Amino acid sequence: MTQPDAGTLERVKLALRSQRIETPSWAYANSGTRFKVFPQEGVPRNPYEKVADAGIVHQLTGVAPTVALHIPWDRVDDYADLAAFAGDHGVGLGAINANVFQDNDYKLGSVTNPDPGVRRKAIDHLLECVDIMDRTGSRDLKLWFSDGTNYPGQDDIRARQDRLATALRETYDRLGDDQRLLLEYKLFEPAFYATDVPDWGTAYAHCLELGPKAQVVIDTGHHAPGTNIEFIVAFLLRAGKLGAFDFNSRFYADDDLMVGSADPFQLFRIMYEIVRGDALAPEAGIAFMLDQCHNIEAKIPAIIRSVLNVQEATAKALLVDADALAAAQRSGDVLAANAVLMDAYNTDVRPLLAELRTDLGLDPDPMAAYARSGYFDRIRGERAGGQQAGWGA
């Protein structure tokens, strides 16, 4: 196993400098499972405090310059003011996530509901989110639908697809020239028989039908166990229909744990397809977002750790010797080809990343820097009173 030469290390560091990871406002607030959401000291009480926490994550990592919002969890009177506040904290407002999964009216579905009045209400929320994007300057409208059924016969699977397509079409046609619609799929939960957007194929087909401003979101926790997610990445990249990731990790279902914590090798394989597809740089248009909930662990350190996990997987992916790999693949040398990938994966990239942070004028160890910053003690004091923000489930 040869150590990467200086030229390779410089190439890798240069690529890592352009990495951008978007953090989710809701991961700074209380979120958990259907059994219990454990409150924590210092949790934000409003979108401004969530954005401030996103600011410290970017300040310490240098690669998390935007924060995704979720509506209505992050509804404010003045989005331009929130955007200015975010700017003061060194971050921008990112994807706008619609929420048509918590209103009582959506029991039998939102945009796919048998009741046209309920469908209208859901579509109006999606359109309201585009209005908000006009005010926050966000490019992406992210749509996840909890819509589905629990029992065979409960509703007509095809009719629900027609209703979904109608809602997506009206929303798509409302988008501005520089705006996108990102469609997220999920195998199951909260629906337990048929989910209306259950897999990448369904999302891909709807996005093809809609047009170039519609792309697929891969939430890494939304697949059946054993799914080869990097295949989906490679396929959608090749088709020009991969718009974004919701990064997290899981041992069983949609566990929403820290990305890279349950399966760092899978994250490496995913980032290798991104590197192989020349899709890491912001110009490639892929939004790398986290979508996690930190029910028992300290939230800001968990998000910092998650950003570092993505950086580490990306650095390893960038170290893959593409020429050696191509040669081994061409000659059908299975073991040699696998070894090229494993050599990169088994490289300790932490010294390289520490060096990169020093080059960027950052502390080489953001976790230690956060612990020393006194930020938690400050917010614990400042945020003692009031109602902690949460996902209100």
Residues that bind ligand LRH (CB under 6 A): 26, 97, 144, 184, 186, 219, 246, 254, 291
Task: Choose the one of ligand LRH, Mn ion, none that binds residue 106, judging by a C-beta under 5 to 8 angstroms depending on kind.
Answer: none
Tokens of 62: 């240098």
| Site stretch for Mn ion (CB under 5 A), options 152-160, 215-223, 269-277, 292-300 | 215-223
273: left (phi over 0), alpha (psi -120 to 50) or beta: alpha
State in angstroms the smallest separation of the CB of 179 from Mn ion: 19
Residue nearest ligand LRH, Cβ-based: 144
| Helix H or strand E encompassing 245 | strand 242-247
Considering the complex, state which of residue 293 and residue 320 has its C-beta at the smaller distance from Mn ion.
293
Please check whether residue 204 is in contact with residue 240, taking contact to mean a CB–CB distance below 8 angstroms: no
Task: Choose the one of Mn ion, ligand LRH, none that binds residue 49, judging by a C-beta under 5 to 8 angstroms depending on kind.
Answer: none
Considering the complex, state which of residue 25 and residue 59 has its C-beta at the smaller distance from ligand LRH.
25
Q: How far apart are alpha carbons 275 and 199 in whole angstroms?
A: 24
Query: Is residue 283 exposed (0-12), middle (13-18) or buried (19+ Cβ within 10 Å)?
Result: exposed
Using CB under 5 A as the binding rule, whether residue 254 contacts Mn ion is answered as no
130-154 residues labelled b (16+ CB within 10 A) or e (exposed): bebbebbebbbbbbbbbbbbeeeee
What does each C-alpha distance from 388 to 27, 227, 380 come to in angstroms?
13, 37, 12
Greatest Cα pair distance, the chain, in angstroms, is 66
Considering the complex, state which of residue 4 and residue 260 has its C-beta at the smaller distance from ligand LRH.
260
Considering the complex, state which of residue 189 and residue 348 has its C-beta at the smaller distance from Mn ion.
189
The pair phi, psi for residue 288, each rounded to 5°, is -95, 100
Q: Which amino acid is at 287?
A: A
Considering the complex, state which of residue 160 and residue 186 has its C-beta at the smaller distance from ligand LRH.
186
Task: Choose the one of Mn ion, ligand LRH, none that binds residue 97, judging by a C-beta under 5 to 8 angstroms depending on kind.
Answer: ligand LRH
Give the one residue of 22, 230, 246, 256 binding Mn ion; rule: CB under 5 A: 246
Give the one residue of 53, 74, 155, 219 binding Mn ion; rule: CB under 5 A: 219
State the binding string over 276-305 for Mn ion (x if CB under 5 A, else -): ---------------x--------------
Interface with Mn ion (CB under 5 A): 219, 246, 291
